[in-house]
Structure 1
Amino acid sequence: MRHTLSETFTGLRRNLSMTIAVIVTMWVSLSLFGVGVMAAQQVDLIKGRWYDRIELTVFLCTSASQGPNCDAGQDATQAQKDAIRQALESNPEVQTVYYQSKDQVFEEFKEVYKDSSILSAMSPKDMQDLYRIKLKDPQEYQGVRAAVEGMPGVQAVQDLRQYLEPLFGWLNLAQGLAVGASALLLLAAALQIINTIRMAAYSRRRELGIMRLVGAGNWYITAPFVLESLIAALIGAALACGTLAALEQFVIIDNAKVSIQTVHWVEWQHASVAMAGVVLVAIVLSTVPALIATRRYLKV
C-alpha cells in the first residue's frame, strides 16, 4: 500500500499540468451535471404543487370583487357556491373538485409568504374562496370554463397551465442544456484521463517493464494509475459540490426566495442529492476509463 500511494503522488507530480486539466474539466462538467439535477428537482417541485394536480381555478366573489357575476359589497352566497360545485361535479370533463375556504387559502398564503413582511398585514378576510379543478383531460378545459365563468358568484376562472407552461418550458430547456453540456465535458474528461494514463505509461515504460520481469501483479502495477485519476476526479467533485452549495446559498436562498416567494424553491436536501450524484458520477467516470486505459496501454 505504501508503494502504491508513493507511486500515485509521484505520478500526480509528474503529470501536474494534465492532472490540473482533468480537475478543471471535471469541476465544470460535474457542476453542470449538478445544476441539471437541481433544475429537474425544481421542475418537479413546481409541478407537484400546481401542475399535476390542478388545471383550473374558479375564484368566488368577495365583498371587494367587481364583475357582472358579483353583488357589490357581498361575498358569494352558500347557494351560489352549491350551484357552482354542482355544475362542476356534473360536468363529464371534470375529474375532481377541491374547495378551499378563506381560512384554508390563508394557511397556504402563510406558508408561501412566511418570510415576507406582507404577512403581518393580511388576514383570512382578505383571501378569496375558490374551487380548484382537476380535469380528466388537461387539454379539454374550455367546456368547463364556459360552463361556470358566467354563473352568479364567480369572480374569475383561471387556467393555471397557461401561466406555468412557459416557466416549465424554460426550466426544461435549461435542464437539457446543462445536462447536454455536462455530458460533452464529462466525455472530454474521460478522454483526458485515458490520455493522461497513456502518457504516464509511456514515460514510465522502463519501470513498468522491470516490474513485469520481477513478477509484480496486475493490481500492483495498475493501482497507482487508477488512484491518480480517482484523486483528480474527487478534487473536481469537491469543487463542483462547493459550486452547487454556493448556488443554493447565494442564488436561490439569498436572492430567488426573496424575489419570488410564490415558488417553492429547492432546499438544501435537494442540493445534497445533486452533490451525491456528482460524487458518484466522478467515481464511476474516473475508475472506468482508468481501468480501460491500463488494460490497453499497460498490457497487464
Structure 2
Amino acid sequence: MNINSLKRHFRESFKSLGRNGWMTFASVSSVTVTLLLVGVFFVIMMNLNNIAKNVENDVEIRVHIDVAATQADIDKIGTELKDISKIDKVTFSSKEQELNKLKDSLGKSFSLFEQDNPLRNVYEVKTKTPKDVTSVAKKISKLEFVDSVQYGKEYVEKLFDFVDIARNIGLALTIGLLFTAMFLISNTIKITIVARRKEIEIMRLVGATNSFIRWPFFLEGLWLGMLGAVIPIILIATTYYNMYEYMTPRIGNKFVELLSFSPFIYQVSSVLILIGAVIGVWGSMMSVRKFLKI
C-alpha cells in the first residue's frame, strides 16, 4: 500500500465518523459503557490480588527452640535451616528480643517477666514462595532441639485455597466480560456497516479491491474503540485518585493497601486503550467479512 492510499484511508475513516454521527455515537457509547465495566472490574481485581499477595507474603514460620538447647545447638539449627532449599530468609530472635516485642505491642506489664523470662529463642523463617510453608514446616519440625513450629496451620491452607479460588473466578469473569464486550461492540459496529451496505457495493462496482474497502472500516473501528476508552479512563482515574487519597491515610494496615495511583492508573489506561482498539478493529473486520461477504 502506498502512502497516498494510506492517507486516503485515514481521511475517509475520519469523514465517515462525521457523516454517520448517530451510528458513531451509538458505537462509542457501547464501547464506553463496556470498557467502564471492564475497567472498574480490572481495578477491583488488581487491588484484591495485591491484598492477597501481601497476606501471602506475610506468612512465616516461627521455630521455637527447646530450652535445653545450648548456643552451639541454636547455631546448628540456624545452619540447618539455611541449608533447606525452599527457605529464603532466616532471622534469629532471642527470648529477650521476643519479650521486648511483647512489651512494645501489649504494654510494659510484661516487664515483670524480665527476671524470669518464660519465652523461647525463635528463628523466623520466610520461604521463597508462600505455598512452600507447609512442606518446609514439616521438615523443620524434625530437626533436633526444635520444640515447636508455628505458621498458622489452621488458616494458612484455607487462605491459599481462598486466594486461588478468588483469582480463578476473577480471571474467568474478566475473560467473560471481555467476550461480552466484543460481542456487544461487534453488533453495534455491524449495524453501522450494514447501514452503509450501498456505499460498499458502489465501491465494489467501480473496481475497489477487498483490502481497499476494508482499510477505512479497519481504521474507523480503531478510532471508535479508542474514543470509547477516553471517558472510562477519565472516570476511573478521577475516582481512583480520590479514593486512594481518602483511604490510604485511614487504612493503617500494610495488608489492606491500595495500589499506588502511579503507575497503576497509567497501566489501567493503557490496557483500556488497547482493549478498545482491539475490539473496535475486531468488530469492524468481523462485521465486514461475515455480514457483507467482502
Query: Per the shorter chain, which TM-score range?
Result: 0.5 to 0.7
Q: Is the 8 A contact 1:34 1:275 kept in 2?
A: no
1:57 to 55, 62, 78: 62
Q: TM-score w.r.t. structure 1 length?
A: 0.64
Aligned equivalents of 1:199, 1:13: Cα separation in 2: 11
Match of 2:134 among 139, 143, 153: 139
Q: Confirm or deny: 8 A CA contact 1:26 1:185 kept in the other structure.
A: no
Structure 2 SS opposite 1:5: helix
Matched, 1:6 2:15: yes
Correspondence for 1:210: 202
Name the CA distance, whole Å, in 1 between partners of 2:286 and 2:242. Answer: 40
Structure 1 counterpart of 2:36, which letter? W
Does the Cα contact within 8 Å between 2:78 and 2:90 map onto a contact in 1?
A: no
Distance 1:269 1:84 in 2: 45
Answer 1 or 2: which has greater helix percent: 2
The one-letter amino acid paired with 2:201 is G
Partner of 2:123: helix, strand, or coil?
A: strand
Partner residue, 2:267? 273
How far apart, in 2, do the equivalents of 1:240 and 1:176 lie? 25
Q: Does 1:286 align with 2:280?
A: yes
User: RMSD of the alignment, in Å?
Assistant: 4.4
Alignment of 1:1-300 (within 5 A): 1-14=10-23, 16-44=25-53, 47=56, 49-51=57-59, 55-58=60-63, 83-90=73-80, 94-95=84-85, 96=87, 98-99=90-91, 131-134=123-126, 138-140=133-135, 141-142=137-138, 144-145=140-141, 150=147, 158-159=150-151, 166-242=158-234, 244-246=236-238, 248-252=240-244, 254-255=246-247, 258-263=250-255, 265=257, 266-267=259-260, 268-300=262-294
**What is the Cα deviation at residue 183 of structure 1?**
1.9
1:138 counterpart SS class: helix
SS at match of 1:57: strand
Counterpart of 1:124? none
Q: Distance in 2 between matches of 1:130 and 1:184?
A: 48
Residue 283 (structure 1) shift: 2.1
Tell me how far apart the structure 1 counterparts of residues 280 and 255 of structure 2 sit (CA, whole Å). 37
Structure 1 residue runs of 5 or longer lacking an equivalent are 61-67, 70-78, 110-117, 119-127, 151-155
SS at match of 1:139: helix
- Residue number in structure 2 paired with 1:125: none
> How many equivalent residue pairs?
258
Partner SS for 2:293 = coil
In structure 2, how many angstroms separate the alpha carbons of the residues matched to 1:80 and 1:255? Answer: 49
Tell me, what secondary structure is at the counterpart of 1:299? coil
Q: Would the aligned equivalents of 2:214 and 2:288 in 1 still touch at CA under 8 Å? A: yes
User: Residue 28 of structure 1: CA displacement?
Assistant: 0.8
TM-score by length of 2: 0.65
Which residue is 2:4 aligned to?
none
Q: 1:247 to 1:43 in 2, by over 3 A?
A: farther
Alpha-carbon displacement from aligned partner over 1:37-62 (angstroms, at most 9, x marks no partner): 45445544554x445xxx412479xx
Percent of aligned pairs sharing the same letter: 21
CA shift, 1:278, in A, is 3.0
Mark the CA change 1:36 to 1:81 in structure 2 (over 3 Å): closer, same or farther. farther
* Inter-partner Cα distance in structure 2 for 1:191 and 1:211: 27
Shift of 1:188: 1.9
